[in-house]
Structure 1
């Protein structure tokens, strides 16, 4: 009798799971704003870190913030010796939010940590802008405005100018204004931390809250009460910080920036520059349509203190001061466009339909003269040989040494030395003086060191690439 045949069942291999076309489009749409943010993060990082790699810092700000974050990371009082020996930074600006960078800095103690974090925060702010625009204008319109926002001149200027605490404010404002229309209480929660970013942003918080109260008036009395309460809190926080907290840490017992307002001349001083800044804020970024949304009122506190100041640096479009205005302008435009598209004027309807793409095209065109244009070249990706030589020279300085320096050397020393600003050691003679001397500004470095510290002797320890390192001579018998 033949043996029975063994029947082996074939294993069932399930077919690949494929999403219906509609579901795939929805998943892609949800991911697009994050993809855009990722691309922007990479671009911002290359430009910002590239400037650092070239030792082309524009100010001492990166060094100041690194000293502060380093102190937080070591659980010390946030002292910035660059502002003066032992100067507590809370006596200059109230920005305790920078303590959030202490954990990553503890792991990666480098100014690059601050620059990468700033790039990430700026890129993150593109998510709510793109998402809000896509929800109100459609996928293509949302991506167009998101791209235009990411390439906006205010963001690019801030990316290129060292590190500043306002990088925390930009995404907070963006997420708050995105939530304002549909979730006003969430918008208030997003805006509340602004009081920890910088002393003037309590007024921006109040402006956001007042816009929410205005929008909710007649539809949600409870939201109106909450918003008005937050507005009062924002103003009170700003007053408390400016009149009590900062003066209590300031060595002079006041707020130094008051003089920039009290000593200012007429508000009409620099009027052409101020009007040009307003034009840059409203024309290439919003085609003037942001003026049709109450969200644009959120920009008034920042524009107010800048234009009332006597410091000309605040009036123009350079530096980082306009970064916090970019999410306001773009989300005000996003808020205004749907209503304008239903205008009875045919030309206005046509204008609004074409505007998102036109603004994106304008942003791309303007980028050719803005910092991100460096991405098309090769220099930003290279570290100059001269910089490597300077780094080797500065590496001779031992860790924890005291150093007096100008802008150039600061970024290579603040993570491991106690660094003072050149000419502001309050009589103390540091162990080293590091000078960026490109252009032979200090023709006699030893003589200059003698002027700074008449009772100490310094010798040149090395020179390279336009930098000079001087070391204090040991005292006789020491």
Structure 2
């Protein structure tokens, strides 16, 4: 009864949790975004609307992004008030998303196909990038999308709509994905359910972007509109805008590379399924963004895309129905996945450095223990998630942080590529300024400096 697929999901959960937790234990998690999301869930656990000191003093997070589904993690946070709760929950959600894909493949293509599809998806670079970088609300989207698209591919259109609608509670941009799912449902034969789903998706998107987010935002508007355009577009007029939303969607070449990476694990067969249209809204907003982080293969941005293209892959394989070509495509998909694996975070699990204890890690924890529970703190970005569960912590060196905290803790030896928001020189200047303005050095151990306000 598919027990091997459930076992595969269990193995994936173990791998995801292991890489996430070990990354956190090595002080490689970040204020943006693990720290922010823990502050959100900590608020929910205390029966309050989510706020984040990292975004600003008492900043209301429902004015930043719309993700009320995070409240579902509050009961788990009561039991284990730690950032590790978020990382384990993310591992469970993403691992669960492999189950419907693998079961559909098993049911339609055979037992071996189910295991290979589940493995290729679970080890794919987009999934690995997501679980290897902090925690994000889109972890909830993966199982919802997988269930919706698998139902859609099998003709269970009511179930497809039912699984899609909760995406409106995950993040504001996923309303566009709901619209796309509704349109595919309508195309597949149930216009009433499909158009109703698309209509609810449109209404939810407009309500979120133009009413809910502005109502909570300190600025009175959605704060990311300026990322959806070419900074030079206003100067270049209509021609510049048209260029940005046409040629600009495939330039620079990073965008094309990402698209090829997204489709490569399916050997581009996903393009033969109408389910792949569900990926279009995510691709458009990412490539229209003027934030270059959205264009590449890093971070969590491709998790949703990976779920969609693998569902389209299964659908296309079912449509082909040729045993010989099926075996070639399955073998090719697994080969591409394994070929790309060393470039992404899951590969860290076989690297000796991942498991090596260093004196610095112990020193960091020794210094952090000197900070009392409930204190106000400013800290380096890699130290923030170590403190969010028991202090009111913000980012050292950022102008929007709460001023005059009781404590300041800085990792002065963090590599330059991980420094943010201050360079090493600016960080040293900021520490000297703090010492000149009433702070006393309490500890200085292996590069970890702790100051206390007199």
Aligned to 1:345: none
Unaligned stretches of 5+ residues in structure 2: 233-243, 416-422
The one of 163, 169, 184 equivalent to 2:135 is 163
Contact 1:141 1:357 in 2 (8 A): no
The one of 391, 410, 420 equivalent to 1:417 is 391
Return the offset for 1:426: 5.8
Aligned to 1:37: 9
The one of 326, 349, 366 equivalent to 1:392 is 366
Return the offset for 1:468: 1.2
Contact 1:170 1:327 in 2 (8 A): yes
SS at match of 2:442: strand
Aligned to 2:183: 210
Supply the distance in 2 between the matched residues of 1:243 and 1:406 (Cα, whole angstroms).
Answer: 35
SS at match of 2:303: coil
Aligned to 1:430: 405
Aligned to 2:192: 225
Contact 1:46 1:381 in 2 (8 A): no
Q: Deviations over 1:190-220 (max 9, x none)?
A: 111100000000110111111111111xxxx
Supply the distance in 2 between the matched residues of 1:438 and 1:40 (Cα, whole angstroms).
Answer: 34
Contact 2:394 2:402 in 1 (8 A): no
Greater helix percent: which structure?
A: 2
Larger Rg: 1
Contact 1:446 1:458 in 2 (8 A): no
Supply the distance in 2 between the matched residues of 1:291 and 1:116 (Cα, whole angstroms).
Answer: 33
What's the C-alpha RMSD, in Å, of the aligned pairs? 1.9
The one of 210, 226, 233 equivalent to 1:259 is 226
Contact 2:378 2:405 in 1 (8 A): yes
Identify if the C-alpha distance between structure 1 residues 446 and 430 changes in structure 2 by more than 3 Å, giving closer, same or farther.
farther
The one of 49, 57, 65 equivalent to 1:77 is 49
Q: Deviations over 1:35-74 (max 9, x none)?
A: 0000000011110101001001255210000001001001
Matches within 5 A, 1:231-380: 231-265=198-232, 266-267=244-245, 268-269=247-248, 270-283=251-264, 285-341=265-321, 350-380=324-354
Supply the distance in 1 between the matched residues of 2:261 and 2:99 (Cα, whole angstroms).
Answer: 23
Q: Deviations over 1:93-112 (max 9, x none)?
A: 00011111101111101101
Q: When the two structures are superposed, what TM-score results if normalisation uses the length of structure 2? A: 0.91
The one of 145, 162, 165 equivalent to 1:189 is 162
Identify if the C-alpha distance between structure 1 residues 444 and 127 changes in structure 2 by more than 3 Å, giving closer, same or farther.
closer
1:137 lines up with 2:117 in the alignment:
no
Q: When the two structures are superposed, what TM-score results if normalisation uses the length of structure 1? A: 0.86
Matches within 5 A, 1:427-466: 428-438=403-413, 442=424, 447-449=429-431, 451=433, 456-466=437-447
SS at match of 1:335: helix
Return the offset for 1:340: 2.2
